Amino acid sequence: MAIAVVNPATGETVETFGDHSAEEIEARVVKTEAAYQALKATDYAQRAVWMKKAADILEEEVDELATMLTIEMGKPIAQSVGEVLKCAKNARFYAENAHKFLADEPLEDPSIVGASTAYLHYQPLGVVLAVMPWNYPLWQVIRFAAPALMAGNTGLLKHASNVPHSALYLDSLFTRAGFPDGSFTTILTGSAPIAGLIEDRRIKAVTLTGSEPAGRAVAGQAGAHIKPAVMELGGSDAFIVMPSADIEQASTVAVTARINNNGQSCIAGKRFVVHADVYDEFMEKFVAKMSALVVGDPMEEATQVGPLATERGRDEIAELVDDARDKGATIRTGGKAPERAGWFYEPTVVDDLKPGMRLVMEEAFGPVASVYRVSSREEAAEVANQTTFGLSSALWTTDASDEDYFIKNIEAGAVFVNGMTISYPELPFGGVKDSGFGRELGAPGIREFCNFKTVWRS
């Protein structure tokens, strides 16, 4: 993919960029390593001042940044504003909590290990390579960068090729906020140099948010060079609706869960697993609400669903739906790309899904909902767990027994009960199975790229 801004609402190329040369990439690695030596010598209080300034800058420039995001990848403008403000919130969260999350942890009775004192001490690792996607061009990066920098690490960013404006903004943000120059540095490049960077001994760890194939490649390279990694990969989250649920509320939240970010979210509800007792009622409401969504120019405030970010992404969604339809699935609404410029796809609801249809097992990264009828909670859990993914899940019930059952039996990194999966700075985020390993956010998110150093004193 060429490094370029292509407006997905029109298909028009806005601006193109040249790749950084090998020499420029090397210079940026050198600068980022030098910045680490300066940053690790500072304390949490000083880093917090700089991180809060970064949050201030994000808030001051929110309108400009929101427009940039919408032009680059097509999300509705109101959601772009929300993404920027969420980044600022995350920056402040780690500015205010890093010193607590990374405080020394003393052993309550050090005499057990024959010591006068013994404790766990956290230290940064160094330069962390971040390979990031286009669907949340600022948030995906800030949720890693804020804890990494507050811990004393520096970051080298390889961003997606279709969001170069976001990549370059992040290249300057933390320096503008006061961090040592090079503390967070962007390289404009395709995927070719990544393997060499992972091999480079100056790179101490790697984090990737992206597809399962990309995760397998990068994690394999990191493992080969004995470097820690965090992988946040795909998801095909189950949204389970049981008989005791508030169906009106569940159907309303289901729509938001499916079409948020134009359906291009790893933690979006994608597979709606509905008990037979309430299936018809849920489906009637869900289809009506999906059908009523406003699809259009993402710069318009009234728009609820904009274009997919890339032409290939739109084509992949169309292929999944066409495959299901050809094999006997029922399209309840949508099911095609509208005849207009840009990479739009209609909000779509599909049921009567059967094994062998690609939509059953593959991630639908767009506004397409798959709905399954089940007759018991055991069957619901079986359907929820049948994919190779395990990122998050949502459960709708007021039955305590059902709640306990699904919390224990859903194979996922999170269960949201009577709500939509959302990432919060305060809560650990990540998945199991092919959705990856490691955690971002919360206290675990800042500890992932630290050395857990045991200190024993006689």
Longest dimension (CA), the chain: 76
Q: Are 45 and 97 in contact (CB under 8 A)?
A: no
Nearest to 398 by CA among 275, 295, 292: 275
First-last CA distance in the chain = 58
Residues 6 or more apart from 213 whose CB is under 8 A from it?
none
Nearest to 179 by CA among 29, 25, 28, 48: 48
Q: Name the catalytic one among 232, 316, 346, 363.
A: 232
The C-alpha angle with vertex 135 and arms to 415 and 52, in degrees rounded to 5, equals 80
Output the DSSP codes for 20-83: PPHHHHHHHHHHHHHHHHHHTTS-HHHHHHHHHHHHHHHHHTHHHHHHHHHHHH---HHHHHHH
Q: Name the catalytic one among 33, 72, 212, 266.
A: 266
Residue with tokens 């899904």: 353
Nearest to 417 by CA among 433, 405, 435: 405
Would residue 266 show up in a list of annotated catalytic residues for this protein? yes
Residues 6 or more apart from 331 whose CB is under 8 A from it?
321, 325, 348, 349, 350
Would residue 87 show up in a list of annotated catalytic residues for this protein? no
Q: What's the token pair of residue 252?
A: 């309303």
Q: Provide the strand spans (E) within 296-344.
A: 330-333
Residues shown for the chain: 458
Catalytic residue positions, numbered: 232, 266
